[in-house]
Amino acid sequence: MICKCGKISIRVTINIKGDNFKIVKDKQYYKEPPLKEVICRIDFPTNQNIHSHKDDLAQLLSKHDFPIFKEQTERQLKFKFENNETSHIFTDTPVLLFSRRDEKTFIRLTESTVYLYRLTPYEKWCDLEPHLNLIEQELFKSVDIKDITSRGLQYVNVIEIENTANPTKIDEYFKFYPSINGKALNSRSFTIGNEEYIEGLGSLSQNLRSEKTSKEELSEYLFELRILNNETLTLESNNKKSMKSWFDSAHNEIVNRFEISITDKLRKIWGPYNAKVNK
């Protein structure tokens, strides 16, 4: 694994102290959580007819509290390798964007991918479950999508810590940090990442990096956790391995990994409390 501290790149080890990878039975819930964005991504075989269904899709999603509909164009750069030469071309792809009235929850649909976004404030996972059911059980059926080729779940956290030391003693707040010979590198600028395969779920990656901030009294960090599965899944009513069940499992794994990567000192910043909700 490579860690970048300032302008110097060094190879480091990852420390996750305590009971490594132990399942967190009692999940923590926070009054002021650092979570800024949740992204669900589902890929399927290219379907160029999706744009022709835009009016039907707008009507369907409006019934499920996604009344705001916008058409957009996404410009992509594609490279072509032929006869030992490289060429590139820009292509414009139509995008259908549906959002709820608060414009905090979006469904974004292209010819080969659907995204479900939830922006802050994010309250609990069960709020997203009806939207995943809507995508799997109604949206895909309306455009005749029978297989998905990959799915992913990503959590984006922005963590602010008051500067009581310069630089911040990173190992007092995180159990996942850059180190050399077991000693934390308390650098003002760093990027660190880890990726591993989890049986039945796919590839889990976690990335932590320091961010520039105009607030001198604060240190800011971006902590992203993502699970990606590239196995094809057939959407059948009798298939026990439903798309939503995978997202439920991925969510639980991400929450668990987040909790074992931070310390109680960091939890106190967000005001933990015991709430009987499904995060």
| Buried b or exposed e, range 9-41, using 16+ CB within 10 angstroms | eeebebbbeeeeeeeeeeebbeeebbbbebbbb
Three-state DSSP class for residue 256? helix
pLDDT band at 112 (very low <50, low <70, confident <90, very high): very high
Q: pLDDT tens-digit profile of 217-226?
A: 889 999 999 9
Cβ(42)–Cβ(117) under 8 Å? no
Q: What CA–CA distance (Å, rounded) separates 152 from 254?
A: 12
Domain spans, the chain: 2-46+119-273, 48-111
Residue 26 has pLDDT above 80, yes or no: no
* pLDDT top residue among 118 and 30: 118
Three-state DSSP class for residue 185? coil
pLDDT at 28: 62
Residue 81 has pLDDT above 60, yes or no: yes
Region 261-279: what's the mean pLDDT? Answer: 74
Q: What CA–CA distance (Å, rounded) separates 260 from 262?
A: 6
Q: What CA–CA distance (Å, rounded) separates 218 from 69?
A: 39
Cβ(270)–Cβ(31) under 8 Å? yes
Cβ(110)–Cβ(97) under 8 Å? no
Residue 75 has pLDDT above 90, yes or no: no
If you ran DSSP here, which 8-state letter would residue 204 be given? E
pLDDT at 277: 39
Q: pLDDT tens-digit profile of 155-206?
A: 999 999 988 767 778 899 999 888 888 788 877 788 999 999 999 899 999 9
Place of tokens 């802050």: 120
Q: What CA–CA distance (Å, rounded) separates 30 from 214?
A: 25
The dihedral built from the CA positions of residue 159, 163, 169 and 173, taken in this order, carries a sign that is negative
pLDDT band at 239 (very low <50, low <70, confident <90, very high): low
pLDDT band at 7 (very low <50, low <70, confident <90, very high): very low
Three-state DSSP class for residue 246? helix
pLDDT at 78: 72
Q: What CA–CA distance (Å, rounded) separates 260 from 277?
A: 20
pLDDT at 9: 34
Backbone angles phi, psi at 40, to 5 degrees: -105, 130
Residue 272 has pLDDT above 80, yes or no: no
Q: What CA–CA distance (Å, rounded) separates 172 from 269?
A: 12
Region 148-154: what's the mean pLDDT? Answer: 97
